[in-house]
Amino acid sequence: MTLRITVIGTGYLGATHAACMAELGFEVLGLDIDPEKIATLAAGKIPMYEPGLAELLVKHVPGHPGSSGRLRFTTSYEEVADFGDVHFLCTNTPQKKGEFAADMSYVDAALDSLAPHLKRPTLVVGKSTVPVGSANRLAVRLAELAPVGAAAELAWNPEFLREGFAVGDTLHPDRLVVGVRSERAEALLREVYATPVAEGVPFVVTDFATAELVKAAANSFLATKISFINAMAEVCESAGADVVQLSKALSFDERIGGKFLNAGVGFGGGCLPKDIRAFMARAGELGADQALTFLREVDSINMRRRSRMVELAREQCGGGFLGRRVAVLGAAFKPNSDDIRDSPALNVAAQIQLQGAQVSVYDPKAMDNARKMFPGLTYADSPLEAAEGAHVVLHLTEWQEFRDLDPAVLGTVVAERRILDGRNILDDAKWRAAGWSYRAMGRPTVE
Ligand code: UDX
């Protein structure tokens, strides 16, 4: 008989995981405490922008023509406990207010709500990004609370998906990491992931702490790579060198590689910034804070990029923002996402507005979220509308739509043809040929 899987917490991670588990052929029940979210998902819709996810829901939730009917949703923990052989915990772990540490309250609440209903042998699998040591603590709590006792086991299986590529990353991950304490737990997870493993995805079996740490280490490494190249951009600016050429030359060294080596306005989002901070906080609790002091520098290089962009924009506006109009292209923290959490684009836009400029923002997908979070900014319905009368245009999220812009057309509506490329990705020759002054981060000024 095929395994029955439940997914607890149907936010970004959980909704994707649930849909992908159904795609792999399992009967899936997703749970969320928010009935509105459940209703949206059950209707085959998603409350965020993620390519391919809505299509997968429609393919599997009942009531759509030709759907498999394998994916259902509920708000009842009792139903979930009765249904599932394997329960995935996918609740989020945001940064605590006013501190670096991760807020574990959603993961704790999910386990505390599920465990008292577990009356038959089961595997509870944590996927959330948690401080190392959490799995150990949760395993003790699970055994205490579950009526079935030790037959309700815990495993840890961190998630590495990227927004914008969530479905592909879940169905075809680079690797699967499972922290387990028994052969039974490992066997169950091998069954869950039989398809990707058969396709050659490495399956790495570890203890709890190592599994938790792989996630923290991976995100720290990625953040470090970005801040490294951004630090090089700072040096390039002072030395008159070109960070784009530097990065390309580095990328040919296979030990370094070219991915995550794009200099610009830096990283944002709901993961990298908060995860490196939570990792530092946890290392401090463990007495290993010295090992991670470099992450403080990674964080501050990253934040410095935003201030640098504001400074460059001020220069381009003739030394002050008062009475100046600034167009901001991009609001999402990265392209192919409507997520604006800790978005460098909106942070820069807000700083500039605060300093007296009139800022008009356009993003292909993140406008609704941006309006809710930053109601004080002005929003435009197109790049052209945003650029109307602008003294400088800032390119801060590298959507394809912005790469495809015709600088000659945009040039007809601006007050000054000045573009600042905060992602180092626009075709500078094309912009210059259309009479624009093109300036990027970490590259020499060519007039
Ligand atoms: C990240 C990790 O990649 C993923 O494995 C983990 O599970 C969650 O955190 P995500 O937050 O979706 O995923 O975004 P990612 O694609 O990693 O980009 C993070 C930020 O770094 C974005 O703001 C992006 O614009 C920026 N970035 C990325 C750069 O500034 N330069 C680069 O070279 C790459």
Convert the pLDDT of each residue in 141-177 to its tens digit: 999 999 999 999 999 999 999 999 999 999 999 999 9
Give the per-residue pLDDT at 224.
98
Tell me the whole-structure pTM to 2 decimals.
0.96
Q: Which residue's structure tokens are 């002072």? A: 238
DSSP 61: S
Top-level class of domain 207-447 = alpha beta
Regarding the beta carbon of 330 and ligand 1, being less than 6 Å apart is answered no
Task: Give 112 Cα–ligand 1 centroid separation in angstroms.
Answer: 32
Task: Compute CA 67 distance to the chain's CA centroid, rounded to the nearest angstrom.
Answer: 29
Give the per-residue pLDDT at 67.
96
Give pLDDT tens digits for 391-435: 999 999 999 999 999 999 999 999 999 999 999 999 999 999 999
Average pLDDT, stretch 80-108? 95
Q: What's the distance, Cα to Cα, between the start and end of the chain in Å?
A: 69
- Decide if 271 is catalytic: yes
Atom of ligand 1 nearest to the CA of 398: 25
- Work out the number of other CB atoms within 10 angstroms of the CB of residue 224: 17
Nearest-angstrom CA–CA distance, 85 and 67: 23
Give the per-residue pLDDT at 27.
98
Question: CB of 348 within 8 A of CB of 332?
Answer: no
Atom of ligand 1 nearest to the CA of 344: 23
Give the per-residue pLDDT at 2.
87
SS3 of the chain: the string is CCCEEEEECCCHHHHHHHHHHHHCCCEEEEECCCHHHHHHHHCCCCCCCCCCHHHHHHHHCCCCCCCCCCEEEECCHHHHHHHCCEEEECCCCCECCCCCCECCHHHHHHHHHHHHHCCCCEEEEECCCCCCCHHHHHHHHHHHHCCCHHHEEEEECCCCCCCCCHHHHHHCCCCEEEECCCHHHHHHHHHHCHHHHHCCCCEEEECHHHHHHHHHHHHHHHHHHHHHHHHHHHHHHHHCCCHHHHHHHHHCCCCCCCCCCCCCCCCCCCCHHHHHHHHHHHHHHCCCHHHHHHHHHHHHHHHHHHHHHHHHHHHHCCCCCCCCEEEEECCCCCCCCCCCCCCHHHHHHHHHHHCCCEEEEECCCCHHHHHHHCCCCEECCCHHHHHCCCCEEEECCCCHHHHCCCHHHHHCCCCCCEEEECCCCCCHHHHHHCCCEEEECCCCCCC
CATH dotted code for 4-206: 3.40.50.720
Task: Compute CA 329 distance to the chain's CA centroid, rounded to the nearest angstrom.
Answer: 20
Report which protein residue has its CA nearest ligand 1's atom 16. 162
Regarding the beta carbon of 233 and ligand 1, being less than 6 Å apart is answered no
Ligand 1 mutation target, pool 17, 53, 93, 162, most atoms within 8 A of CB: 162
Regarding the beta carbon of 177 and ligand 1, being less than 6 Å apart is answered no
Q: What is the mean pLDDT of the chain?
A: 97
Give pLDDT tens digits for 208-262: 999 999 999 999 999 999 999 999 999 999 999 999 999 999 999 999 999 999 9
Instruction: List binding-site positions for substrate.
Output: 160-163, 215, 260-264, 268, 334
Q: What percent of the chain has pLDDT over 70?
A: 100
pLDDT exceeds 80 at position 446: no
Give the per-residue pLDDT at 33.
96
Q: Which residue's structure tokens are 């702490």? A: 209
Please check whether the two domains, 4-206 and 207-447, share a CATH topology: yes
Residue spans of the domains in the chain: they are 4-206, 207-447
Regarding the beta carbon of 442 and ligand 1, being less than 6 Å apart is answered no
Average pLDDT, stretch 65-92? 97
User: Residues of 96-123 as b/e, b for ≥16 C-beta within 10 angstroms?
Assistant: beeebbbbbebbeebbebbbebbeeebb
Atom of ligand 1 nearest to the CA of 268: 23
Give pLDDT tens digits for 275-330: 999 999 999 999 999 999 999 999 999 999 999 999 999 999 999 999 999 999 99
Both tokens assigned to 350: 């807000």
Give the per-residue pLDDT at 447.
61
Task: Compute CA 104 distance to the chain's CA centroid, rounded to the nearest angstrom.
Answer: 18
Regarding the beta carbon of 276 and ligand 1, being less than 6 Å apart is answered no
pLDDT exceeds 70 at position 198: yes
Nearest-angstrom CA–CA distance, 96 and 233: 31
Give pLDDT tens digits for 6-17: 999 999 899 999
Q: Which residue's structure tokens are 């607890």? A: 8
Give the per-residue pLDDT at 143.
95
Structural element, H or E, at residue 125: strand 122-126
Task: Give 211 Cα–ligand 1 centroid separation in angstroms.
Answer: 20
